[in-house]
Amino acid sequence: MSLSFPISATVRAPARFVDRSARPGKTDFPVRYGLLLHSRHGPILVDTGYSRELWALRGIQAALYRRLLAPTLRPEGDVEATLARHGLRAGDVRHVIATHLHPDHACALGRFPRARVHASRPALAQWAAAPGLLDGAHGLLRGLLPNLPGVDAAPFEDDPDVPLPWGGRGRDVLGDGSVVSVALPGHMPGHSGILFAGDAPLFYAVDVAWTRAGYRRDEDPPYPARLAVADLATARASAALVRRAEETGVRVALCHDPEPLPEDA
């Protein structure tokens, strides 16, 4: 089994947008996704990162989103380019885990029509809801999401309940204990982290914070990062859960942490 976190794109922004103690100046924040090459279940994607589909979307919400975030794609980090380096194609992927539905996580979901999509019930409910005028404001670009009735969607909540190394419970996504979903609400409805179990467990805490300082310090993110948090109170509790995980020796990885990860690809 091998785990990597390819970088699909970068977003350049003042570091102080996300961390008030950061030095002045801009930082290139990576946009990661996860690829686990599972010995039994084959390639498993955790999100899909940004991709060209973002630029194919029409409408004012998509245009505004592109203007505000202005991501720079890394062609070598495209999800299919990554798979190709492992001799794999999109059709080989049987499982895609969607941590939440923000465009930087869900851009290329439509390329995996044969995969089972694992996500939390609140995320699936948001996906199934009727389009709303505020979708863009909530960071939801529905044009990126495949039609839900045509998706083999598997709610985390239907998976077996298992204990977590730091206390609390998670859900065993594949039934063999190797990949465990952990509810991390607050950032977006149904936002979930993924614990990769094994000898050296790694907890992918996704967007619970932009940098390690963001969850290690018990304080809310500064503006404008705070605007991207759907519910501050639950986000605080989720950050505390990640701190607990780290205190028990579990390594934590974040989607946008500018510090390189050993698993960056």
Q: Which residues bind Zn ion (CB under 5 A)?
A: 102, 207
Q: Which of residues 114 and 226 has its CB atom nearest to Zn ion in the complex?
A: 226
Q: Which of residues 95 and 102 has its CB atom nearest to Zn ion in the complex?
A: 102
What's the min distance (Å) between Cβ of 18 and Zn ion? 12
What's the min distance (Å) between Cβ of 206 and Zn ion? 7
Q: Which of residues 98 and 197 has its CB atom nearest to Zn ion in the complex?
A: 98
Strand order in the sheet with 116-119: 2-4, 34-38, 42-46, 95-97, 116-119, 152-155
What's the min distance (Å) between Cβ of 187 and Zn ion? 6
Q: CB-based burial of residue 255 (10 Å sphere; 0-12 exposed, 13-18 middle, 19+ buried)?
A: buried
CA of 216: how far to CAs of 129, 170, 229, in Å? 34, 21, 17
What's the min distance (Å) between Cβ of 255 and Zn ion? 7
What's the min distance (Å) between Cβ of 181 and Zn ion? 16
Which single residue brings its beta carbon nearest to Zn ion? 102
How far is residue 53's CA from residue 254's CA, in Å, rounded to a whole number? Answer: 23
Structure-block tokens of residue 136: 């863009």
How far is residue 81's CA from residue 8's CA, in Å, rounded to a whole number? Answer: 10
Q: Which of residues 31 and 151 has its CB atom nearest to Zn ion in the complex?
A: 31
Q: Which residues contact 61 (CB under 8 A, 6 or more apart)?
A: 135, 136, 141
Q: Which of residues 41 and 102 has its CB atom nearest to Zn ion in the complex?
A: 102
According to DSSP, the β-strands at 251-254 and 202-206 are parallel
Residue 196's φ and ψ, nearest 5 degrees, are: -95, 110
